[in-house]
A and B are shown apart, each in its own frame.
Chain A
């Protein structure tokens, strides 16, 4: 099955054919299927609904809400909660958010650049050691990344890089699966004939890559970028291990820190539970917005690895 056509086909061609099929056969309303979907949607949205509702409650209302945990209380304290969130502890939350952005984009962009170059090399060049390198890469996809965290920490601490942004960003640039995706996509998505034609016209290897190959790789680039940004943004084990200064924490480790303190009642007069709830809500908005905004790209792109 051609991988190149899959992103396009998934959205346009298939729907075209389906329209045709529907026109011929009048469709039942499929009530059962829709009810089943509605049930699934309720389940998957439930925690988010709880989060939205809880964010509007005052610290007291969080525990004692007249309408229960899954409905709004009498007061609407969202804006108070937000201002507490952004000012608590000299605005540490904003710092965490900034750190998460820095790590996610630093690691994600780095991983994507490396994956694009390496994927192009595997797909379009026949260099000595190519087969063994690719076998190594496939093996690496199967190495559980958390097995590397503790030795990475010890290694980084020997060169005194722990407790710096680099300790999170550099290891996050490793994405064997990203390279694999780029290779699979580029093999068919960038025709050899086109590259040869550019070389015939006198373009050097790098010009051929930047001006001919790179634009054709765009759908896969967006997918790999999205996957690696999400992977780093959501990462918890690595930053938890290599960072000890709370000023450097990403949002995941920060919220977890608050959760630990909240259990021990160490908020110093502020309800940490409210901060955790509002902080969680604010922290998931950027990624959800990115996914909704970039739908066109990732929905086709996620199937790249599995259609072969």
Chain B
């Protein structure tokens, strides 16, 4: 196995114990497991990590430093692709779209998820249990299928809107309504998953706390806002992080709905759709790599800063 060569030498137990000052559990581990065994367990993942995460990231950066013209061939261009991206109206409008979209869709889906979870947590009926599963079901449906289904429902040809509203039925993929049409699809797809995570966190709270609050005269909504929500804040931070990462790389729904939107979804609607079309329609792999890499870095730094600022609440960076 190739990675064994890179594994550092095992440290002697004594040396290990001095470095892990005061951490009892660590010291106990150290007495037995030497470094080599730990790396043996980690090695398979490390190989995949290097090949399919570090490799593509570095390669994307490398590719982004070149330009490839039909006449000129591949040429070193330094950061020219990046300065092009940050003055490219197509890229900038895509960034602006996903930022606006994130500001609307993330609160929408988190609010639906939180309220649903709070209601479900307060009920023990069979119907509540059934509802929990039904609200979660969209998570098991691929985003492509979800987008196709909503595309059908939005369609003037065979959707129900026409039958409900007649001629004046709104087409939810028209330029004016597109934003809401997409917000609805994404909320439908993800709210149930977030609901389950919040619900599981709520179920982990000791009910004796509610009992005590009730003795002190707290009302149900006070228990929800002053006890339940603060106690599940780390679950909320985790969800928010996933939602931000997911929304900024918005791709599947617009790409799938593009052909049936009568042109209101363009090939540069989000940075990812733009990068995909640059690469696979126009073979501009270098410029597409620059956009991918820029997007990845921006998301990474944004999320890292957010987690750093909320580290007292979330358990993720501790």
Contact = CB atoms under 8 A, between A and B. Distances in A.
B145 A146 contact: no
A290 B141 CA distance: 12
Interface residues of B, number: 120
A93 interface: no
A79 interface: no
Contacts of B107: none
B230 interface: no
Contact of A199 (B32, B41, B128, B260): B32
A246 B25 CA distance: 53
B197 A303 contact: yes
Interface in B33-49: 33-42, 44-46, 48-49
Contacts of A98: none
A126 B138 CA distance: 41
Query: Which DSSP category, helix, strand, loop or mixed, fits chain A's interface?
Result: helix
A15 B203 CA distance: 9
A266 to B, nearest CB: 12
B147 to A, nearest CB: 9
B123 interface: yes
Nearest to B198: A306
A240 B144 CA distance: 11
A288 B140 CA distance: 6
B157 interface: yes
A126 B30 contact: yes
B146 to A, nearest CB: 7
Contact of A303 (B9, B112, B235, B289): B235
B315 interface: yes
Interface in B166-225: 188, 191-192, 196-197, 200-201, 203-204, 207-208, 211
A252 interface: yes
Contacts, number: 337
Contacts of A91: none
A126 B16 contact: yes
Contact of B196 (A37, A252, A302): A302
B133 interface: yes
B160 interface: yes
A281 to B, nearest CB: 9
A69 B130 CA distance: 25
B135 interface: yes
Contacts of B241: 142
B21 interface: no
A9 interface: yes
A9 B204 CA distance: 7
B295 interface: yes
Interface of A: 1, 6, 9-11, 14-15, 17-18, 21-22, 30, 33-34, 36-38, 40-41, 43-48, 50-51, 54, 62-63, 65, 68-70, 113-115, 117-118, 120-122, 124-130, 133, 136-140, 142-155, 170-171, 173-174, 176, 179, 192, 195-196, 199, 205, 209, 230, 233-234, 236-237, 240-241, 251-253, 255-256, 259-260, 263, 273, 276-277, 280, 283-284, 287-288, 290-292, 295, 299-300, 302-303, 305-308
